[in-house]
Structure 1
Amino acid sequence: MTLLGHDLRAAVSDIIGGLRLIDQDGFDDATRLQLERIRASGEILARLLEQGLAMMLGEDDFAATHPANLQMARFLYDIEMRWSGRASEKGLDFKVSRSGDVPQVLTLDRIALERILSNILSNAVKYTDEGTVGLDICMADTGALRITVVDQGPGFSADALTRLFEFKGRPDGTGKPGQGLGMHITKSMAGRLGGTISVENLPTRGARVTLDLPPDTWTIAASEPIVELPDLSRTKVLVAEDNATNQTIIGHMLAKMGAQYEIAEDGVEALHWLERENFDLALIDIEMPRLSGIDVIRALRANDRLHSHMPIIAITAYVLRANRDAIYAAGADAILAKPLAGLETFGMAITNVLNRVNRPEEDQTVQADEMAEFDRASFDRLIDIAGPVASRELLERLCNDLRKTERGLVAGLADNDIAAIRAETHVLIALAGAVGAARLQALAQTLNVAAHRRERGDLSQLGRDALAQLDRLIHFVNQERARRGEAA
């Protein structure tokens, strides 16, 4: 199962990666709609596959929830892309609406919510032969997040309503395929989310299914920034990467932003390119044959002929502190972790690194991947309030507190100590919020909620994400301590 799981994950990853690489500009609207439908369904499939494999391989507890930041606009777009195609096949309209008071970003169990909506919408489309299927999200008077699906089908029979949530509870003679598993799954997932599900027939025709999620079952997360892709039409980029798939993905993303680029398949070839031509930016994989990425970066920084001041972004699957410190010490300006995130994150990293070229020396301390997750203005305000003398003491105390919290969190996660995780994340929420580390604060809040609910199965991945962000913050604070110490 472990080997099969590896191959299944790889295959699904290739499918989704391939879909993202398709240039849709030359297609008609109908074809683009179907591609978006496949993409949205493929990403849901990947999440379901990941949970199923984790359960079968003993990597996770099936009953555990998996809180994640849910961008409501993007989430509803994916729902619309998936189900408008299914509805149009039957000649139905599919409408999605959302009230203005619904938070833009929520932290909750996305997989459970997707499974609920998948089963409710599947039934609605299946039983509606004409008219409209509608999905609406609003805030109820009770403060609950309310999700409603309304259809114009025949409604539920009295027999169906009495057995609606039972396993294989569908009555005989419905004339539609299926065994009645969908509403049973919906009820189970609603319980997993801490919500309630209700069903009613409408006075004239059709049915309404309502999911209510009380305020204590979700949290409001910090909105992720909207990123404009940089214009790289005048930028020449060297991509040093030995993996053919990664070469293709990076190349397509650079092309989307208008960049000219060359590919080097190992470290030696990268140096040869740099000896022959000038580049504005280098993307360097750390693990390469013949000459490692760290050695390439060191060679560049040591030799004025080889673009010693050219911005460099390192790409690596190794994101532990020791690896990051070695990469930064070699002279990298930023680090991107494998697998690479979407085009927006990639574009933001490049923008931040290129923007640093013309900044004063004292501002070049925040790395590009940190800029996307860190509000420098909040940090600077805190330092200004403390003043030049007290700020050095503040930074020292902050660094000590962050390291202490890191040690406690590492130990708590290793021992599955719920009380320790709750205590350390409580401190981390305050520390991250004080210095403007919004991403770390949101992760600490999510981890704290999971610990309060004793959702042990989800703590490991959340903990890794939080520790990675905490590592970046500690690195930044140490840089500030060193810089301000030198200035004094």
Structure 2
Amino acid sequence: MKSRLTSFSAAAAAALLIALFSSLGWLLYQTVTQWRQANAQIKRTEASIQSAEQIYALTLSAESAMRRYVITGDQAALAPFSSAINALDRELNLASRFEQAAPGHHEELEEIAALAARRKAHFQETILLRRSSGFDSARVRTLTGAGSRITDELKAATQALSDRNRKDLADWEFKARSAALHRNSLLTTAFLVLFLLVAAALVAVLHTARRRRLAEVGLANANARLQGVLDSATQLSIIATDLEGRITLFNSGAEKMLGYTAAEMLGRTPDIIHSVTEMELRGAELSETLKRPVQGFDIFVQAARQGGYESREWIYVRKNGSGFPVELVVTGVKDHEGKLTGFLGLATDISARKKSQQQMRKLSAAIKHSPTSIVITDKEGLIEYANPKFFELTGYTEAEIAGQTPRLISSGKMPKEIYKDLWDTLLSGREWQGELLNKKKNGELFWEHASISPVKDPHGNITHFVAVKMDITDRKLAQRELEKARDTALELARLKSEFLANMSHEIRTPMNAIIGLTGLLLDTPLNAQQRDYVKTVNGAGEALLDIINDILDFSKIESGKLHIEKLDFDLRETVESTADLLAPRAQSKGLELACLVEPEVPPHLRGDQGRLRQILLNLLGNAIKFTAAGEVVLKVSSLAGDGHRLKFSISDTGIGIPAETQKNLFQVFTQADSSTTRKYGGTGLGLSISKKLAELMGGEIGLESEPGKGSTFWFVLPFEPASAPAPAERQGTEISGVKTLIVDDNSANREIVSRYLANWHMRFETAASAEEALRRLRRDAGGPDPFRLALLDMQMPVMDGLMLARAMRDDGALAGVRKVMMTSLGRDMAPEELAEAAIAVCLSKPVRTSALFNALNSALGGPADEPAVPKAAAARPRNPYFRVLVTEDNIVNQKVAVRQLEKLGYDSDVAANGLEALEAMKRWPYDLVLMDCQMPEMDGYQATAEIRKAEQDQRHTPVVAMTADALQGDREKCIAAGMDGYIPKPVRLEQLAETLAQWDTPLSASVLKELGELAGPENPDFLKEIFAAYLKDLPGRLEAIRAAFAAGDAPALQQAAHALKGSSGNVGALRLHKICRLIEDSAKGGSASGAGALMVALEAEAPNTRTVMEAAASGAAPKAG
């Protein structure tokens, strides 16, 4: 019976448990369902509120677009109207769906839909009235206010609906919170029921061992299930306490969150995980509210003790002392009788949420107080947000930009392409940056730098655009001022260049006459006084030309238009030839001018030879100018460790420079003092130009000077190795070991010559006077090692070089010593004087290295690279076959050019401008044209273009510019115009001769080159064979021409001249080709008598052509003759 009773009790208990848990499950399900339904209704209510507000906003947008159309009549304004109306319809449909899903506001929605329909109809009627009757009728309708009243009614209706929805929203939020609280209570109850069941099981097992074992198993299972539930909540801290606040439960979520273990926390109070300060503040707050002291554990459970719960944000403190925010819900735990037995705290870490909220606050504050305008639009471009800076800058209000696009501030002055590029960039998903000219509300224009970026949703679709814009109006104004200043500076520079060009041209034109005619006059018979006057005028003209060149160079440097070239050149030749140019000036003052290029200096380099020469001329010229007596020495040496970084030094024994004026000496227009300026003259530009040139070439310049003792100006320049391999240096094997005596009273000259002889491995001694030289010569004359060679200076005190040479001649013991004379007299000694004194060779100072080497070889009877003693050039014979056309509008310059050409042996004609030149060339085939560039009616550039156009591919007449335009780029301009050469005025005779010689040659260099290329490397004797065949045929063809001329047979003369003309042209014998062509043209008239002068020219040129052709065939270069 008892067993059945026990079984019945067990079954009844099981049924009761099942019913209890089923009831709890059902209640929990119902509670969760209610909570979900409440949350869903909250979302729909919020959407309904937003929809009502959007309906009103879209109505305002449509009204704004309608008003723009009424005012402007622009059809483009209807696009935003239609967009707003369509959006309004969508919102009404959406609101209707919300009502269907959650009915209750049907009447309000019907009222809103009716008002919206009335407003839409009013819009359409107004737009139709504007289209049909114009602005005034539409305006009158607008002014009635009927539409505004409908809008106001719509606003009131939407506001009423929103208010009711907000009230409903509050109700649903309350329901959701109640359902959540109910859910938590059910969970708590479930925990308590489970706890009671476990307790009952424990009591039951006390009665019997079996029931005890069963109860233990049931309790273990229940505990496992409870712990499983608690441990699964790893993101939730669950802490249970008894009524006194001692912790009885500390789940794994709490361990993970706080760093404590359950073993550490059980039995302790929760104040260990709270801030003392925060607890005190909360206690004071509750004490003030409840009007009684509240402290300790009670501050957490005050609401729970009253049967409620408390949800509040607290700061939890981890075991390591760090704090973090949590949202803590505290509720009471009751037994089966409803008696409070403890408390349960559920905490969630809200650090991420707090951080996000803080970042949003910071971002909001940054945007609000940003010094830049920030505008956010939707993807259609409608402004959704603008920060305060935007309103401050533009003058618009928030209400005025509602429903507007950024086009509201467009100035209308930016190219459409800018906006097209902007939208193309943004719609492609990229950021656009640029400058925009916009307009404020008051009409004022302002510049902004805009950075506009698209905002995308997680799927990559563009939802908004954000524009960050900086006001750059002040910067643009400043930039405009800078541009104006730059344009002004460029215009001033242009005017300055134009002035310098005109000044140079106008001065060079008369200077051409002064220097040209005085140069010609010096070659005529003059008495001493006349020659002195003419030399003075010529020197003054050269000085004036130097001043003009200094000014032009300074202008080029100042404007940055002077360019440094890099070309291969022979350094030794450059330095020594520059010294040669100034040697006459030094000799005229009785100065010793010496030049030493140290043997270790590379002879072939790459750099700007012209600018190097210019610096040397400036510094050497100054040294000679400021030195009254003594010497000027130019030395070139390599700096240690760098063979291509050279130091040039020019030392003199002049007046010297005080230390206080040295630091300013390289400044523009600066000289040592005013007295030297008056005494010596000059512009004060030379040193400044030299400094600038040295710096442009990557070098430096300086000086060392002492008043009364002289100065040393130096400069250092870097060069590059020559691109082409340098020719082999002469080793002096023929003169190596020859014992030589150097006789010169100047120590610098003795040192320089000694350096050269040592480099050639010669043995030498030096003597400072003729008397010392004779003693040394006689000392060794009878011994085994006598002197074989003596280098004698011409200008020595007491006994000069010529007297010493004669004394050596008359001394039988010294007669075998070979003598080389070095003179500073500015002229070579006559052959009679050399022979009379038994002098082998005479050299002019400063002595060139190559000339000295050749002179030594020649004196000893060895080979020389070139003739040791240059012979005076014979007067140039008249060239009847080479005729020059001078094209020049200035009569004086015409005369100068014609006289210079006559002196060089050329016939010429004159044309006053380009038109006359073209007419003259139709009458006569000139061999060369000297062309002025600036002339009336037709200038030289146009005339050259017309000449090239007329010639096409038939012939090419050389045209050489002869112009006073001497600025940077003038030469290039002439070459670009089709000219073949360039001579700046004033025209020097030697420069003109050199230019003419390029085209007046017996053999054409270009033809020789073509023949060489035709032969190729496999046939080196081809040129020799061609010339041999021509020279073999030449006598017969000449004889045929002579015979036809002697017989007066014009046809035969024409035929014979034509034959020789063709063969001469084929081998490049230009002069013979030209003479034969003229004979042929003369004979075409039917008479041979007119070719008499041409026959004389033919007889004179034929031997010359033979000589040059034979030299060319043997490998020597053809010479101008």
Using structure 2 for the length normalisation, give the TM-score.
0.24
Which structure carries more relative contact order (alpha carbon 8 Å, separation 6+)?
Answer: 1
Using structure 1 for the length normalisation, give the TM-score.
0.49
